[in-house]
DNA sequence: GAAGTATATTTGTCAAGGCAAATATCGTGG
DNA sequence: CCACGATATTTGCCTTGACAAATATACTTC
């Protein structure tokens, strides 16, 4: 598969920089899209709700690990999301140290909007990539991630 | 009670998440590598020095735009980098509002270490990708970035 | 079952970056 | 020249996330 933009490469941005730029554009686009729908959520909060919606109730620690967020930061995000009424801290049945974090009805109702919104942003971002290219992009990034994590 | 799906995360991480994970691993690796060489620099500071080394002296505003950093944040980073002796704020010859930011000899000397370090980290990150795949990855990311910036 | 270790949550502290206001200077159109 | 809007830098304020300490509870080992 020949690609024209390989023939005229942009002034060489290093991978680290490029990743940062793309990510911050995606975050910006998502937050703007949400705000336009009247939903005031930061990207991190979107990620938290997404995990809960997809994986079901779990403890705050599991949630923190799932979104790679510090435990302390998670406590404060949960404060906010609970305050907005999207989730609830319930006592954990087997472990009295832990919490069972679950979406409220309102949180579940919001979820459809969030996932649609995410869909639109990712579609827009990748609109110049073919289906195959999208798969490759995902595959490459996954392999890079593994390379970085499994040192050697 | 541990949620098994957290141990083996779903194969499909969304692009936004994946980008964040890869970037934060690269940042972590770079900072660790630098620290191991006795150089205490944050990734942002590395980027600033990199721009200066590659593009030569410029104003603080130009530098801020080049690394996509807020002007206020740039002022504070310059304070630190000037304090460490890596750069210098000189008066701008044509514009008395502006500064001419330039690397010191020490800053230039550091540069070779930084670029070698960056080289090693990126090589390690992409070690499982062929030369062609690396080019494609870069190309895809560049196209995604353009798609996000040039709204339709 | 007691002691010691590991884990869950919360809270305090800190650095970084975004945004807005303040100040200085530039450049342009009367 | 003068007023006015744009730009450069700095500073203050706010939010976020990392890290560490404190507290409560679970688990493991003897």
pLDDT tens digits, one per residue of A83-117 = 999 999 999 999 999 999 999 999 999 999 999 99
Mean pLDDT across B69-94: 97
ipTM above 0.90, yes or no: no
CB-nearest partner of A16 from B5, B23, B137: B23
Q: What was the pLDDT predicted at A9?
A: 37
Q: What is the pLDDT of residues B14-43, one digit of tens each?
A: 999 999 999 999 999 999 999 999 999 999
Report the SS3 class of residue A9: coil
Residue-range domains of chain A with CATH: 41-120 (1.10.10.10)
**Considering chain B, what percentage of its residues have pLDDT values greater than 70?**
91
Largest CA distance in chain B: 67
Mean pLDDT across B71-84: 98
Q: A79 and chain B: CB distance < 8 Å anywhere?
A: no
Please determine, for residue A11, whether its predicted confidence score (pLDDT) is greater than 70.
no
| Mean pLDDT of all residues belonging to chain B | 91
Which residue from B92, B60, B54 is spatially nearest to B76, judged by alpha carbons? B60
In DSSP notation, A113-149 reads: HHHHHHHHHHHHHTTTS-HHHHHHHHHHHHHHHHHHH
d(CA A96, C1' C1) / Å: 21
Please determine, for residue A46, whether its predicted confidence score (pLDDT) is greater than 60.
yes
Q: A133 and chain B: CB distance < 8 Å anywhere?
A: yes
Mutation target for A interface from B137, B150, B151: give the one with most A CBs within 10 A.
B137
CB contact under 8 A, A118 and B149: no
Please determine, for residue A6, whether its predicted confidence score (pLDDT) is greater than 80.
no
Mutation target for B interface from A9, A120, A122, A145: give the one with most B CBs within 10 A.
A145
C20: residue with closest CA to C1': B72
């Amino acid at each position: 598969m020949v690609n024209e933009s390989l023939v005229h490469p942009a002034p060489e941005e290093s991978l680290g920089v490029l990743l940062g730029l793309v990510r911050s554009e995606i975050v910006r686009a998502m937050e703007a899209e949400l705000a336009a729908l009247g939903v005031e959520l930061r990207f991190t909060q979107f990620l938290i709700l997404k995990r809960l919606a997809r994986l079901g109730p779990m403890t705050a620690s599991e949630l923190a690990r799932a979104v790679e967020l510090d435990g302390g930061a998670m406590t404060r995000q949960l404060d906010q999301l609970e305050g907005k009424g999207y989730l609830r801290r319930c006592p954990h049945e087997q472990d009295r140290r832990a919490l069972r974090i679950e979406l409220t009805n309102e949180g579940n109702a919001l979820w459809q909007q969030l996932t649609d919104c995410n869909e639109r942003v990712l579609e827009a971002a990748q609109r110049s990539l073919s289906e195959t290219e999208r798969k490759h992009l995902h595959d490459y990034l996954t392999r890079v991630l593994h390379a970085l994590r499994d040192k050697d």
